[in-house]
Structure 1
Amino acid sequence: MNGSPLLRFDPRTKILLILLCVLSTAMAPSLNYVLGLVSLIALLGILGGKGLYALVGLMVYAVLFLLTKAALAGGETTLHTTLIAFLGLFHKVYPCGFLAGIVIATTKVSEFLSAMHRIRAPQSLTIPLAVMLRYLPTIREDWRFIKDAIRLRDVSPSLKGLLTQPVMTVECLYVPLMMSASRAADELSIASVTRGIENPAPRTCLTQIRFGFVDLLTVFCFGVYFATGQFL
């Protein structure tokens, strides 16, 4: 269900949405409110062309939502209290990570740099964020390659494999991943400097970057939802 986006959002809009999402989850009055926020983010992902990612993310959270409801209805034991605390932290982090994944998947580095230049953001802020936009997809691709390779050695890249073969799993999966992450960071930094990321001249972009009615309406909807949570 991933395909061409129905709507295109300005990178500055996405940054505002992340800030509103952080505030909404930090001051969420209830689990139902967080579920509504995740549903709103999923709708944003569908409109942005990441329908499969959005639906899977929504279903995963729905399972966690039901699990949390069941845990809250259980008895008061040490294990029960620990589980509630863990799930509570998860509900605070999940919407922000969910939205950040959509933002990273739908934002090109050139568009991001052009938008940041228009608001005169300092390079000390824009350069690390631009490198991050390329870093995470690169690590995800390396992760898939490493998992395919270790299956040839009959090592399962899962929690079960970590519990049954901890030494082999760490050696074949996590060590190569750490080395790949370090190498990718160096390569992306060098490539960014080579392509003139530090050039102070005005940047151009083939995609038209402007804050339009769709961006205004989206920020308004997230802002209203945040304000609604403060009066529940």
Structure 2
Amino acid sequence: MEQFQAVASTKKGFCLDPRTKLLLMAIVATAEFLYAHTAFMIAVALIPFVLLLINRQYKTALIFFVLFTTGLVVQAVQNSIQFPMVLNMLIVLLVGLVLRLFPAFMMGAYFLKSTTASECVASLGRMHIGRQITIPLSVLFRFLPTMQEESASIKDAMRMREVQFGTQKFWNNPAALIEYRFIPLMISVVKIGEDLSAAALTRGLDNPIRRTNITQIGFTHYDVITLLITSTMLGFTFYI
């Protein structure tokens, strides 16, 4: 009984319900295409940026801040400098990708890092989502970290054999870098996907009977405060 209580203990500190995270992701993905004013885009980008900082994803937040700031600067300079047509099309494409899509990508990164598979499955069950969506998502939550570990192991093995950029073996056969990196990774990805799918079915995720879950989820004052601040900030910047 003590073991179940330890597993079911709630997180301390700032913690949002998975359903709130999904709602914020939908808000960011919709709002960034709703209005093209600079102040509104900055307000939308602040949502994932602040959440990443709270979740201590400092590296991801810094990369997002640098790319988004660069996109705003390039967008401002683009109107005053006449670029060639091809270069101008490329700049517009890249700036639009950073300013319009990266906030949603960062919300996805925050959701994956701050939510466990059990919390995701429990929240989707509360929302009466079918198993056609629940099972793939539960596999995805375990697939991405496992794939990152496998990629790091392949990279370490290549470094031990001096098969990396800048070494003598690389200059003798540059295509070997791609071959030795991606072929083992693709084979591992297929094997990992099959193992995780079998593990999900073994845990009874496809059982038609409603499952019980010891993971405690629920809305707290953090969810209310976050949604109030988000709606107020976006509404103020939109109407002002």
> Match of 1:205?
214
Q: Give the one of 153, 174, 178 matched to 1:145.
A: 153
Q: CA deviation at 1:167?
A: 1.7
Distance change (3 Å), C-alpha of 1:170 and 1:98: same
Deviations 1:97-122 (A, max 9, x none): 11101110110111111111122111
The aligned runs of 1:13-24 (5 Å cut-off) are 13-24=20-31
Percent of aligned positions with the same letter in both sequences?
24
> Match of 1:34?
41
Q: Give the one of 40, 49, 54 matched to 2:61.
A: 54
1:133 and 2:179 correspond: no
Gaps of 5+ in 2: 1-10
Distance change (3 Å), C-alpha of 1:7 and 1:73: same
> Match of 1:178?
186
Distance change (3 Å), C-alpha of 1:90 and 1:117: same
Q: Give the one of 105, 111, 120 matched to 2:119.
A: 111
Deviations 1:150-185 (A, max 9, x none): 223434369xxx999652222012222222222221
Q: Indicate if the aligned counterparts of 1:6 and 1:49 stay in contact, CA closer than 8 A.
A: no
Deviations 1:184-208 (A, max 9, x none): 21111111111222233332224x2
Q: Indicate if the aligned counterparts of 1:6 and 1:47 stay in contact, CA closer than 8 A.
A: no
Distance change (3 Å), C-alpha of 1:83 and 1:52: closer
Distance change (3 Å), C-alpha of 1:82 and 1:52: closer
Q: Give the one of 201, 209, 220 matched to 1:193.
A: 201
Distance change (3 Å), C-alpha of 1:142 and 1:45: same
Gaps of 5+ in 1: none
TM-score (norm 1): 0.83
Aligned residues: 226
> Match of 2:6?
none
Q: Indicate if the aligned counterparts of 1:113 and 1:203 stay in contact, CA closer than 8 A.
A: no
Counterpart of 1:204, as a letter, is N
SS in 2 for 1:23: helix
> Match of 1:123?
131
